[in-house]
Copies of this chain bind each other. A is one copy, B any other.
Amino acid sequence: MKVTVKSLAQAAGVSRGTVDRVLHNRGAVKEDVAKRVRLLAKELGYVPNRAGRALAAYKTPIKIGALMPSVGNAFYQEIIQGINDAQREFQDLGLEVVLKEVEGFEESVHLEAIDYLLKKGCKALCLATVNTEKVRDRVNELYDKGIAVVLLNTDIENARRLCYVGSDYLTAGATCAGMLALTRRDKLNILIVTGSRNLLGHNLRIKGFEEELKRQNINYQLVSIVESFDSDIRAQQVTFQVLKEHPEINCVYIAGAAVQGVGAALIANGKKDIFAIGFDELYSTKQLVSAGIIKFVVCQQPTRQGYHAIKRAYQAVAGQLSESVPDFITDTIIKIKANLDH
């Protein structure tokens, strides 16, 4: 038998309004009445009906805020694509998305953006933000206030949140190493080009990579690690320089963005037998894989990430979610020339 607000009210001997107040902590209800309703709701297994909810709250939409450091960054456009998909799908269920795009990873900019979203009246937030102490504190604070926070694409260590939606960077790194194990028998002299040593995701990709190399007993040497700060120009310069200084390098592992810059350096360098690996299926990386400059990229389904982050946040606000929400980890997808999307 289906449990509705009406039947719950009947069972508890109160009105529907009171049930609503109890279930959503709005308005004042005597504690013992509230307790009785809550108990009954749990016992009878009450689950709110989205259709009814959506219809009733049609003119007070569920506002969900999203923070993206997407300005001038093609990768985040893919996530935004997924956010838009979710918005379209759930709009007739009362969803409204407020998207705040910022440039870069500066802490103060991100904190300001969060404030902006809250001021806009968002009931839940999807954040692709930085792993710093102040941001973590802010997130914890929001969480304690009852605002559902979904961390998107990059997690924050030890933050209280609804869930994380994104890739498993450790596995992604390990997968690159596993592919090397499958394809190469000779000794590997590796250059790592990372985005920034301060970015959690990049570091995990390196950690997973090295762990798997060791686990599989690969004969390798780490020649150098350089930072590109996700700038293509810098990546090209620094990569070109190191390749010249170390002609023994036969493998380049690009842990961050700026794949295109590294590709340019590889082309300029001209050596044919360098095995290069990178991440993410952007226009530029697809070109490089197609041309054989990079042998494969490991991808993380950014569009699905955006879509599911919004969906989770919506479900949380709509009361569809149970106590503990598992993280949503996207697949670690190896793209070689043959299975690249066109």
* A94 and B339 within 8 A (CB): no
Residues of B within 8 A of A49 (CB): 55, 92
| A197 vs chain B, min Cβ distance (A) | 23
Does A178 lie within 8 Å of B331, measured CB to CB?
no
- Is A336 a contact of B182 with CB atoms below 8 Å? yes
A sample of 5 cross-chain residue pairs with beta-carbon separation below 8 angstroms, ordered by A number, consists of A52-B55, A175-B339, A177-B338, A212-B338, A334-B334
Given A47-B92, A171-B339, 14 other A-B contacts at CB below 8 A?
A: A50-B51, A50-B92, A50-B93, A51-B92, A175-B336, A178-B336, A179-B182, A182-B295, A182-B296, A331-B331, A331-B333, A333-B333, A334-B336, A334-B339
The answer to the question of A206 belonging to the interface, with a C-beta cut-off of 8 Å to chain B, is no
Chain A, residues 157-200, CB within 8 Å of chain B (1/0): the string is: 00000000000000110110111001100000000000000000
Is A54 in the interface zone, CB < 8 Å from B? Answer: yes
Q: Please report the total number of A residues contacting B with Cβ < 8 Å.
A: 31
Assembled-state Cα–Cα distance A92/B93 (Å): 12
Q: Is A337 an interface residue (CB 8 A)?
A: yes
Interface secondary structure of A, over-half rule = helix
Q: Is A332 an interface residue (CB 8 A)?
A: yes
Chain B residue, CB-CB nearest to A47? B92
| A333: chain B residues within 8 A (beta carbon) | 331, 333-334
Contact, CB under 8 Å: B336 / A179: yes
Partner of A178, one of B55, B179, B339: B339
Please state the number of chain copies in the assembly.
Answer: 2
Contacts of A301 in B (CB 8 A): 331
Contact surface of A with B, Cβ cutoff 8 Å? 47, 49-52, 54-55, 92-94, 171-172, 174-175, 177-179, 182-183, 212, 295-296, 301, 331-334, 336-339
Contacting residues, chain B, for A94 (C-beta < 8 A): 51
* Distance (whole angstroms) from the CB of A335 to the closest CB of chain B: 8
Question: Which residues of the other chain, B, contact A337 by a CB distance below 8 angstroms?
Answer: 178
| Across-interface contacts of A51 in B (CB, < 8 A) | 50-52, 54-55, 92-94
Q: For residue A175, give the distance in angstroms from its CB to the closest CB of chain B.
A: 4
A-B CB proximity, top 10 nearest: A178-B338, A51-B54, A332-B339, A175-B339, A334-B334, A174-B338, A51-B51, A175-B338, A51-B55, A183-B183
With the chains together, A55 CA to B182 CA distance in Å?
55
Of A54, A172, A332, A339, most buried by chain B (CB within 10 Å of CB) is A339
Chain B residues positioned under 8 Å from A339 (CB to CB): 171-172, 174-175, 178, 331-332, 334
Residues of B within 8 A of A178 (CB): 336-339
Please, which residues of chain B bring their CB within 8 A of the CB of A336? 175, 178-179, 182, 334
Neighbouring B residues of A334 by C-beta, 8 Å: 333-334, 336, 339
**Which chain B residues border A177 with CB–CB below 8 Å?**
338
What separation, in Å, do the CA atoms of A332 and B299 have in the docked complex?
12
Q: Which residue of B lies closest to A341 (CB)?
A: B331
Question: Which residues on the B side are within 8 Å of A212 (C-beta)?
Answer: 338
Residues of B contacting A174 with CB < 8 Å?
338-339
Contacts of A52 on B, CB cut-off 8 Å? 51, 55
List chain B residues, Cβ under 8 A from A179. 182, 336, 338
In the complex, how many angstroms separate the beta carbon of A236 from the nearest chain B beta carbon?
Answer: 25
CB proximity of A180 to chain B, nearest CB, Å = 10
